[in-house]
A = this chain, B = another copy of it.
């Protein structure tokens, strides 16, 4: 029997502990695959809601899950992993918490046998939580980090990989340390930075916010996230986050120093100018490293079309883009406060750009070709 066959057989009953967004979404996805899913939640009303949503059934005496997935807030993840390892000693237990070293340390420190525990983290989520926001497809195409240690049997690893693949994710193996440093960089620190930047707007004069454009909107979008959840995440990953924040503060001090030198002199010293330009250029280099839509660094080109702010105009545009056989890689709608008109910026592969422009212009659309 191959590992995959074995893991599929072993996954005939899955127990999900915690029926928030992630737990309920995993339940919905596994139920679609015909897997028997049992649900548990400290809140009876949350549990009842998740059952109503079709994320799984209530547990019954004699249920023996082969896989337990702990999907609870970070501050109770460790204690529930321990409880489940004790309650189901033959099951593989995983969790989906966004920090991976802390549960491992907590449980090792207490002497819990972690042979059957494999930490994991699907990089999926939504701005709003709860079973009410659940959907089976939030994991589709997203990375799912799996943290194995040397003691993990390969069939147990295969079981969790199989879960990720079943849900349309891409499994990625990392150590807990690698994982925590990575998410500090690409998720936790961006959250802190967006929140601190947005906080500066709290007491801004009304005229100042009137001047806000797309730049500040994008930079602060995730600042609307839940303080309680983020308190737990940041607290559980404090060390890697603080490391990156220290580096950020050093860079910030350099920019403040350079700008202060500029201010004092009227004109800046050459060193001050260079420090500012270097900071912006380093940002150019950093943002270029983020992967594009299809997981590559492939660059798309954009075609910007003017659209009236009326029902149907954008739909007509996109229908016609379909008719001329052009595949949009991305779409960005730009608009301004007070304007009744907008711009649809369509990303396409460079090879079709010229033809897209010509065909759309022939159909009467106004294009701002760059």
Q: Which residues of A contact B (CB under 8 A)?
A: 123, 126, 128, 132-133, 135, 137, 140-143, 145, 168, 170, 172, 174, 178, 181-183, 185-187, 189-202, 204-205, 207-213, 215-228, 230-231, 234-235, 238-239, 241-242, 244-249, 251-253, 255-256, 259-260, 262-263, 268, 273, 276-296, 306, 309-323, 325-328, 330-333, 335-341, 368, 370
Contacts and interface: CB of A to CB of B under 8 A. Distances in A.
Given A190-B215, A239-B263, 19 more contacts: A123-B213, A137-B368, A182-B207, A187-B213, A192-B255, A193-B219, A195-B283, A196-B248, A200-B247, A202-B286, A212-B291, A218-B221, A223-B280, A223-B287, A242-B263, A246-B256, A293-B335, A293-B337, A315-B321
A113 B262 CA distance: 27
Contacts of A196: 193, 248, 251-252, 255, 279, 283
A315 B360 CA distance: 14
Contact of A290 (B183, B220, B256, B277): B220
A78 to B, nearest CB: 12
A213 B186 CA distance: 8
B210 A143 contact: yes
Interface centre among A181, A183, A201 (most CB of B within 10 A): A201
A103 B247 CA distance: 35
7 contacts: A137-B341, A172-B210, A189-B197, A201-B287, A219-B221, A220-B287, A223-B286
A220 B170 contact: no
Number of copies: 2
Given A140-B336, A182-B207, A186-B208, A316 B322 contact: yes
A29 B286 CA distance: 36
Nearest to A246: B256
Nearest to A332: B333
A131 B293 CA distance: 30
A186 to B, nearest CB: 4
B202 A289 contact: yes
A368 B239 CA distance: 36
Nearest to A109: B266
Contacts of A192: 252, 255, 279
Contacts of A143: 210-211, 337
A338 B142 CA distance: 8
Contact of A202 (B201, B282, B328): B282
